[in-house]
Amino acid sequence: MTEPFGTRLHAAVAARGPLCAGIDPHAGLLREWGLDDDVAGLERFALTAVEGLAPHVSVVKPQSAFYERFGSRGVAVLERVVAESRAAGALVLLDVKRGDIGSTSQAYADAYLDPTSPLACDAITASPFLGFGSLTPMIDTARTHGAGVFVLALTSNKEGPEVQHAVASGGGTVAGRVLDHLRALNAGADPLGSFGAVVGATIGETHEDLDIDGPVLAPGYGAQGGTVADLRRIFGRAAGSVLPSSSRELLRHGPDVGRLADAARRTNDELAGLAR
């Protein structure tokens, strides 16, 4: 049994700061870097980003879809991103947002959380909207291998509220029910639980309790408008467990490795007082 993800994450954040660096090689960014939108451009972009960012942040978050669109050769690049990011000392949170039932859910868990898999990483994102219980294979596999799962709860996309703000059976919102499940999974964990929530850094106001005794991934920091003040206002006493995630704001400094590294260090400096 490996050390729980929450314990490893807590140590990584203490050493490197809370910034989660997204490595999202979409076509627009490849063009901005002067690269072709092909596998060679993908590889150059992704591995340069790893070189510039992974040694300086606690968490690297590749978005799987941007690699999968190139087929098996793109997935091979993703395998290198995972391996080289971890070799540089960063934890890897693979953004896959998987959500299914039964044996299919288990297969996703085996693909991303079992250390014998070539795509094994430290944590994944998951969708609970087939019912939180549908994630049980992922949760159980994460416990077995000391990995983590970040579950969608309150996202910033305009379509999210029709599901996440809906009233669940028995009262309360669907998002609130997801947060309750995560709080229960993390009960008694010290210093930090391994099961996190995904809550957008630009959601505005919420009456939900975001303190889940575990980490909270907050996409949307930086280029999408999220600020330190927003994070303090939204998360309150839970701000010390937040991983602000930034992709475009960091990646626009490429392809210069030094500028990428400087951007990561500068952003972590901005976030240093988040818990205060």
Q: What angle do CA 253, 255, 260 make, to 5 degrees?
A: 45
- Does 1 have pLDDT greater than 60? no
pTM: 0.97
Choice among 26, 86, 97, 232 that is catalytic:
97
Give the model's confidence band at 254: pLDDT under 50 very low, under 70 low, under 90 confident, else very high.
Answer: very high
Residue 97 annotated in active site: yes
pLDDT digit string, tens, across residues 161-177:
999 999 998 899 999 99
- Does the residue 137 lie in any domain? yes
Tell me whether residue 63 is in a domain: yes
Q: Is residue 276 part of a domain?
A: no
33, two tokens: 């870097």
Q: Tokens 């990483």 correspond to what residue? A: 121
Percent of the chain with pLDDT over 90: 88
Whole domain around residue 66: which residue ranges?
A: 5-271
Range scoring the smallest mean pLDDT among 8-17, 19-28, 229-238: 229-238
pLDDT of residue 223: 72
User: Integer distance in angstroms from the first to the last C-alpha of the chain?
Assistant: 34
pLDDT in tens, 61-97: 999 999 999 999 999 999 999 999 999 999 999 999 9
Q: What is the dihedral of CA 84, 35, 222, 253, to 10 degrees?
A: 80
Q: How many domains does the chain have?
A: 1
110 falls within a domain: yes
Question: Per-residue confidence at 205, pLDDT binned at 50, 70, 90?
Answer: confident
Contact 202, 156 (CB under 8 A): yes
CATH code (residue 181): 3.20.20.70
The mean pLDDT value for 230-237 works out to 91
Task: Report yes or no on 61 lying in a domain.
Answer: yes
pLDDT interval class at 226 (50, 70, 90): confident
How does the average pLDDT of the chain come out, rounded? 95
